Structure 1
Amino acid sequence: MKRRNFIKKSGSAGLLAMAMPVIPAFSPLVAEMRFGIAEASYVQRRYAKLESKIYPPFTDSLQMIEHCSSAGFGGVQFSVSGWDAAYAKKVKTRVEELELFLEGQIRLPKDDSDLPRFTAEVSAAKEAGVDILRTACLSGRRYETFDTMSAFKDFRAKSIDSLKLAEPVVRKLDVKLAVENHKDWRISEMIEILNMIESEWVGVTLDTGNNISLLEDPMEVVEALAPYAFTVHLKDMAVEEYEDGFLLAEINLGEGFLDVERMITVIKSHNPDIRFNLEMITRDPLKIPCLTEGYWATFDEVSASELAGFLYKIKKGKSASPLTVISKNSADDRLALEIENNKASLKYARQRLGFI
């Protein structure tokens, strides 16, 4: 049900209408309660290149927008890569017709030579009505990408340079840049970088589960990063021990060990109108090999007592049943499961978390 229809059908709508001026359904004066979805929630259908006649792959953002709206989501967060002004106008028109909110995803500029690409994509996103662009400094995972501390420090320096290049562009075009905690930065590292950039236009895409892979308590991550957050990747997580550390998996909202309701409360206490996007990634569990030497190549601030305490939490919060491995399934089964997972989390968000 669209929010406008929900308001009309509310039993108190008539009394409210007499007491208050008419406000458009998605006015800034109305707290944002639509529940969006991030592109990674369709990683199998969008990027896995699976052959299926039942669930054909999405070929562009407009197809995904149509699907997500029909599935009941109230907003979308998709890549703006390759968009031009004409395509951006098509997206804006359709998003407005469907009464969705729209956020973008973008790659940071690598250097000066990449700045025209970044600027063009921010401009197209703005044309489409995007006011927040999610980005990430690292596309992979810290403990898998870097073998030495020097390599990680080089990455950090380049990330800061990229953000410094990006900031004047988003400031000029009036679009906020939201950097995700993407299995790259621990809390203190990310806040240090944000303070270094020191811009109201650069903040955070707060992912509620990623930093578990970096041995940080997810609630502590939310409490620390919420003041900087522009948008949210909302997810629940499950863990399971294995010989080299633990397995980590996104799981349907309400089925994992995260206190999702409290997280939402904390985040909204800093920004009542912040948007939440489901990021339910249907994939095999990730291996977090924190008991191997290689994992520790880029960490020098985690004490033995901190690691022991974290592993105790993993043992205490481990999943009651084995985590689902989807790679052994057929393409159609994987794609069907992805759809069902997204539907289940949307249902939970509406019934238990107050979204519409």
Structure 2
Amino acid sequence: MFDPSQGTAEEQLTKMINAAKTIGSPIVRCVLGSADDRKPGPISVHIADVVRVLGNVRPAAQREGIKIAIENHAGDMQAGELKGLVEQAGPDFVGVCLDSGNPLWTLEDPHVTLDILHPYVLTSHVRDSAVWKVNEGAAVTWVQMGRGNVDIEGYVRKYVELCPGKALSMESILLGPRVFPYRNPNFWDAYLDVPAWEFERFVEIAERGKPYKEEPWESKDQTQRERQALDESLAYTKKILGIS
């Protein structure tokens, strides 16, 4: 994440490129921001800023043989928007860190995200999600692999097929549900360019879901709970992949 106390975006990204070279990593992961960057918008302004920064660090990245993996992060961009960013910046040195949990924060079916972005994937984060209808619109929460209702098994199998040789990294975050009040007209100020057909896919997932209740979301044994959740998710994913 950008830290204004650490210099310009170009300076920070260049430091990361140098660090990646030192430790032997072929990839540097970066993010645009979060859902907060969609409003006030448009998000295209922030995308243009990222493209400019990437252009400025292109010589350093190519000199060191490092690629930049932009994550679809915390509801900042839908797949089509991230695809456009990569294409503008240059897919020869910019690609995607694909997160299966974050598309829902942009009202997007994770399967749509994978279908659009798989040609650009450099690495990934995988996690399951539960989505259900609420009076305001829909609620989304990240859950252990296999407990959600987004067909995460089908997603993993499709990822392996479409992104051969790319890392499938487990991410386990336990938080309370986030509500997306799409019945409120003001909510749409941040999502004016969301295609209706993509939103319909999101709504269909929510309509299939049931309220996910596993209280308390935060407790004194949170560390142990998170470890158990990670172990459960790893076991589920290994079973899908046929890993003993």
TM-score of the aligned structures, taking structure 2 as reference length: 0.86
Equivalences for residues 1-356 of structure 1 within 5 A: 107=2, 113-138=8-33, 140-141=34-35, 144-150=36-42, 152-182=43-73, 183-302=75-194, 307-308=199-200, 310-316=202-208, 318-319=209-210, 321-322=212-213, 324-327=215-218, 329-330=219-220, 333-355=221-243
1:213, 1:274 → 2: CA distance? 24
Partner of 1:78: none
Structure 2 contact 109–201 (Cα < 8 Å) conserved: no
1:237 shift after superposition? 0.8
SS for the counterpart of 1:275 is coil
Aligned equivalents of 2:16, 2:162: Cα separation in 1 = 29
> Is the alpha carbon distance of 1:109 and 1:326 closer, same or farther for their aligned partners in structure 2, counting shifts above 3 Å?
same
- Is this contact kept in 1: 2:69–2:94, CA < 8 A? yes
Query: 5+ unaligned residues in a row in structure 2: which ranges?
Result: none
SS of the equivalent of 1:283 reads coil
Deviation at 1:189, TM superposition (A): 1.4
Tell me by how many angstroms 1:289 deviates. Answer: 2.2
Structure-2 change in CA distance of 1:145 and 1:244 (3 Å): farther
Name the amino acid aligned to 1:345: S
Query: Structure 1 residues 119 and 209, CA, compared in 2 at 3 Å: closer, same or farther?
Result: same
1:92 alignment counterpart: none
| Counterpart AA for 2:31 | A
Displacement of 1:293: 2.8
What TM-score results when the alignment is normalised by the length of structure 1?
0.61
Q: Please, what is the CA RMSD of the aligned residues?
A: 2.7
- Secondary structure of the residue aligned to 1:266 is helix
Aligned length: 243
Q: Is the Cα–Cα contact under 8 Å of residues 37 and 46 in structure 2 kept in the other structure? A: no
Q: Distance in 2 between matches of 1:325 and 1:159?
A: 38
Residues 263 and 313 (structure 1), Cα distance of their counterparts in 2 relative to 1, 3 Å cut: closer
Q: Percent identity?
A: 24
* TM-superposed deviation, 1:178: 0.8
CA distance in 1, matches of 2:9, 2:200: 43
CA contact (8 A) 1:108 1:118 kept: no
Unaligned runs of 5+ in 1: 1-105
Please tell me the residue identity of whatever aligns with 1:314: A
Residue type of the alignment partner of 2:13: F
Q: Is the 8 A contact 2:122 2:166 kept in 1?
A: yes
Residue 228 of structure 1 deviates from its aligned partner by 0.7
1:151-204 deviation per Cα after TM superposition (whole angstroms, max 9, x unaligned): x34322212212222333222211221111111111221111211112322100
Q: What SS does the corresponding residue of 2:176 show, helix, strand or coil?
A: coil
Q: Shift in Å at residue 107 of structure 1?
A: 4.8
Higher relative contact order (CA 8 A, sep 6+): 1
Over 3 Å counting, the alpha-carbon distance change for 1:303 and 1:234 in structure 2 is closer
Q: Distance in 2 between matches of 1:266 and 1:166?
A: 33
